């Protein structure tokens, strides 16, 4: 583990969203549903970020299932 800048400690939600909503492989085909490009500004990220500033402990924290409603 690198001590200086590991992500697990203090990565903002911005960093996560900047990647998972905007990057990553996109495939096209009849059988595939894919989320259209999401503009972070359109998402109202400011509001989103002020509710939870950082994603602490990105590793090792309990998972929340995709079907679980946000609390």
Partner 1 sequence: MVVEGQLTYLYCVADREPKIREIEGPENNLYSVCHNSLYAVAAKVEESKFSEEGLKKNMADLEWVKTNATLHERIIEQIMTNTCVIPFKFGTLFNTDDSLKAMLDEYGEEFKAILGRLENKEEWGVKIYCDTEKSKHFSINDEPEILKIENEINSCSPGKAFFLKRKKAELLAQVVNRKINESGQENFDLLKELSFEARINKLLPREVTEREDDMVLNSAFLVGKDDVGDFINMVDALKVYYENEGFFIDCTGPWPPYNFCGLSNQKVRNA
Interface with partner 1 includes 54 (CB under 8 A)?
no
| 7, 21, 35, 68 from 30: Cα distances, Å | 37, 21, 14, 28
Q: State the minimum distance, in angstroms, from the CB of residue 39 to partner 1.
A: 10
Interface with partner 1 includes 15 (CB under 8 A)?
yes
Interface with partner 1 includes 56 (CB under 8 A)?
no
Residue 6 structure tokens: 């590991």
Backbone angles phi, psi at 54, to 5 degrees: -135, 155
Q: Look up tokens 């492989």; give the residue.
A: 25
Which residues bind to partner 1, rule: CB under 8 A? 2, 4-7, 11, 13-29, 31-35, 38, 40-41, 43-52, 55, 58-59, 61-68, 70
């Amino acid at each position: 583990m690198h001590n200086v800048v590991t992500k697990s400690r203090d990565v903002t939600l911005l960093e996560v969203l900047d990647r998972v909503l905007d990057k990553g492989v996109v495939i096209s085909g009849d059988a595939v549903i894919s989320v259209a490009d999401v503009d972070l500004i359109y998402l109202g990220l400011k509001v989103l970020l002020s509710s939870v500033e950082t994603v602490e402990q990105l590793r090792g924290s309990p998972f929340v299932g995709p079907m679980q409603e946000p609390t």
